[in-house]
Structure 1
Amino acid sequence: MSGSGGTDRLSPERYLPRWVPDAVRRHASAVDMLPVGSPGKVGLLDLEFERVGGRTELTGRYQKAPLHIIRPLYPDPAVPDLPYVMLMSSGGGVLQGDRYRVDVSCGEGASVHVTTQGATRLYRMEQDYATQIVGLTVGPGGYLEYLPDTTIPFGGTRFYQHVAITAHPDSTVVVGETMLAGRLARGERHAYTALCSDVEVHDTTGRLLFADPLHLVPEERAVTGPAVMDDFGVLASLYVVTTASPAQDVADAMHEALAGTGLRAGASVLPGDRGAWARVLGEWSPEVETAFMGAWDAVRRLLLGVPAPDRRRW
C-alpha cells in the first residue's frame, strides 16, 4: 500500500523541522559520513487508518528506510477492532545527521495504537545533530494511542523532537513520552549535549490548545527542577486529549493510579479542560514503567471501559 504525494515527502521542507532550538542547532555541521538528506539518513513513515466495516484498517502507507512497520495486529480481545502498529528502524538507533518524520492519520470513527519495537537509542554525535517530527491527526470520533518506548540518550547526543497533534473536538488522543537521563546502568547521567522535545496540540482550525516544551541542556544546568528531571534518572509524561469524559475525572483517575507508587508524580487538567496530563519521576525504568502503565490503564478503563493490555506480550 502507498499514500499519495511521494515526491513531496522527499523535499527537505517536509522532513526538516521549521525550527530547531539553538542548543541543538548550534552544532550544525557537515557530517563526515553519509551527508544529511542521503538515503538512509532520511526516514519517513506516513500511515493512514480508516474505519472499514467492523474494524479499523491501514488504508494508506508510505515508508522510507530506515523507518518501516510490520503489518497491523489485533491482539487485544477486549477491543478486537483496534489495530496495534509497531514502528521499526533498520538502523538500530538515531545517528548524527538523521532526519526522521512519522505521520499517523486516524480517520472518522477509527482507532489505533502505535508503539515502537523497543527503546529509541540516541547515539553519540560528534558532528551535526538529529531530529524527528511526529504528526498525529485524529478525526471525529477517532481514538489514537501513541506510546513509544523509552528514549535513551547516549553521551554527546544532540537531538530535537517535535510532536504536533491535530485533534478534532470529538476525538481522543493519548500520547506518552518516557526518557532516561542517560545509560543509567553504565553510570552515565546527563552526559548528552542537548535533548529537546516540544509537544504541541492544535484543534482542527489550527488554534493552539496547549504546548509542553522540554529542553534539557546539561551545560546550561537546564536539567534540574521539580518539573524537569531534578535528580531522578527517568521522566515519563502521559497526555490525554479528550472530551469523552470530564477533564477533572481523567486527572483524578490518573492521580489515583499514581498515588500509591511512592514516586514523585502528579496529574492535572489541560488548558481549556481538553483533557488531562500526568508526569512521573523515578530513579529506575521498571518502577516508572509500572506507574506509567497504571496511569494508562486507569485512562483505558475510564474512556473505553476495558483494561490496558500488557504491551510487552503482543
Structure 2
Amino acid sequence: MPLAPYPPRADRLTADHYNPVRVPPDVAALASVPDTLAPGSPAKVGILDLAFAVRGGRTELVERYQKTPLQIMRPLWIDPEQPGMSYVYIMATGAGVAQADRYRMDFRCGPDTQVHLTTQAATKIFRMEHDYASQRVHLSAEAGSYVEYLPDPLIPFRGSRFYQRTEVTVAPGATVVVADTLTAGRLARGERHAYRVLATDLHISRPDGTLLAIDTLRLVPGRRGGGVLGPAVFAGHDLVASLFAVTDRVPATVLADALHDALAGLGLLHGVSVLPRDCGAWVRVLDDSPIRIAGAQEAVRQAVRRLLTGRPAPDLRKP
C-alpha cells in the first residue's frame, strides 16, 4: 500500500492543521490573546511531516517537510543488529516551548519499515502568563513495520500551561512502541508541581478506526480533587514514565511478562498490564531519580526489542 500523500503546503499552515481539535476544559479556559506573539505568528508554529519507506534493503526518509522551530537531523543507521533501521533525532531550534506555541508532528511509516524516533533533549515547557501551548503528534505504522517513538522527558516550568495529544494508528501486523516521561518540574531547583495545568491524551487505534487504548492525564496542582500526588498519578514521586507496546508478534501476556521481568529487582514502583483487545502491553513506573527512571525505560525497551526481534537495541549514548 503506498503512503498517503502529504497535504498541500498551504493546508499544513492553516490553524485547523496545527491547533488541537479538542482542548481539555482546564486548558481551554486559559485561552487568550498574549501580549507577545499570537498563535500562528512567525516562529510560533512548528510543523514536522516525515514519511518512511523501504528502499534498497533499508528504511529511508522519503518525504520531509519541516517548519522552524521543529526540525530533524538526517537519519542515521547506527544499529549493527538491525542495520536497516532508521534513527531520527527531533530537534527544536528554540530553548523550549513558550506561550501560544502550536506544534504538530506527523510520522508515516510504510510497510516493513524500521524506525526509531527520539528527541535530542528533554522538552522544556516555559512559564506562561497568557494562553497555552500545545503539541499534536500523529504516528501511523503499516503492516510489517517496527516503530519506536521514545521522546525525552517533559519538564513543565512554574506557571506553564500545556496540552499534548498523541494519536497512533497501528495496522495489523505492525509493531509500535510509544513512551513518555513526565517530571514534576525543575527538580534541581526544588520546583515541583508549580505548573498551572498539564494535560496529555494518547489514542491508539486501527486504520479502520477501531479503538485499542486511551491514556488520559489531567494535572491541575492546587485544585481541589486535582490529585497530582495521588496513587493513580505521581503517588508522591517526582517522575512518572509510561511505555505502550502494540504488537501481534507475540501474545499480550507474554509481552507483559517480559516487561515485568525487566523491572523486577530494580526497586521501582511500577505496574504492568495487557492492553485492551490483547493488542499488546503497557507499563508505568514511578520514582524520584531521573537516572533510575531512564534506566527503567531502557530496560523495558531492551526487553521489548529482544522479545519481538530477537536482537538487542544499541546504546544511544544519551547523557
TM-score by length of 1: 0.97
Check the 8 A contact 1:251/1:267 in 2, yes or no. Answer: yes
Aligned to 2:218: 215
Residue 279 (structure 2) aligned to one of 264, 274, 287: 274
Aligned to 1:154: 157
Residue 256 (structure 1) aligned to one of 256, 261, 269: 261
What is the distance in 2 between the residues matched to 1:225 and 1:247?
28
Q: Following superposition of structure 1 onto structure 2, how do residues 1-314 of structure 1 map, counting pairs within 5 Å?
A: 3=6, 5-220=8-223, 221-312=226-317
Q: The residue matched to 1:219 in structure 2 has which SS?
A: coil
Task: Count the aligned residue pairs.
Answer: 313
Check the 8 A contact 2:86/2:114 in 1, yes or no. Answer: yes
C-alpha deviation, 1:32, in angstroms: 1.0
**Paired amino acid for 1:237:** S
Deviations, residues 179-218 of structure 1 (Å, cap 9, x unaligned): 1001111110000011110000010101211100011111
C-alpha deviation, 1:7, in angstroms: 1.0
Check the 8 A contact 2:79/2:313 in 1, yes or no. Answer: no
Check the 8 A contact 1:94/1:122 in 2, yes or no. Answer: yes
TM-score by length of 2: 0.96
Check the 8 A contact 1:95/1:130 in 2, yes or no. Answer: yes
Q: The residue matched to 2:305 in structure 1 has which SS?
A: helix
C-alpha deviation, 1:172, in angstroms: 0.3
Deviations, residues 8-46 of structure 1 (Å, cap 9, x unaligned): 101111101111111111111111111110110000000
Deviations, residues 33-82 of structure 1 (Å, cap 9, x unaligned): 11110110000000000011210000000000100011000111111000
What is the distance in 2 between the residues matched to 1:101 and 1:4?
13
What is the distance in 1 between the residues matched to 2:85 and 2:100?
35
Deviations, residues 67-106 of structure 1 (Å, cap 9, x unaligned): 0011000111111000100000001100000000000000
Root-mean-square deviation (CA, aligned residues, Å) is 1.3
What is the distance in 1 between the residues matched to 2:186 and 2:125?
10
Check the 8 A contact 1:95/1:125 in 2, yes or no. Answer: yes
Check the 8 A contact 1:196/1:214 in 2, yes or no. Answer: yes
What is the distance in 2 between the residues matched to 1:22 and 1:118?
30
What is the distance in 1 between the residues matched to 2:174 and 2:233?
29
Deviations, residues 232-268 of structure 1 (Å, cap 9, x unaligned): 0000000001101111111100101111110101211
Q: The residue matched to 1:189 in structure 2 has which SS?
A: coil
C-alpha deviation, 1:313, in angstroms: 5.4
C-alpha deviation, 1:3, in angstroms: 4.9
Check the 8 A contact 1:265/1:281 in 2, yes or no. Answer: yes
Q: The residue matched to 2:263 in structure 1 has which SS?
A: helix
What is the distance in 2 between the residues matched to 1:205 and 1:4?
20
**Paired amino acid for 1:90:** T
What is the distance in 2 between the residues matched to 1:21 and 1:222?
17
What is the distance in 2 between the residues matched to 1:93 and 1:27?
20
Q: The residue matched to 2:222 in structure 1 has which SS?
A: helix
Structure 2: gaps of 5 or more residues: none
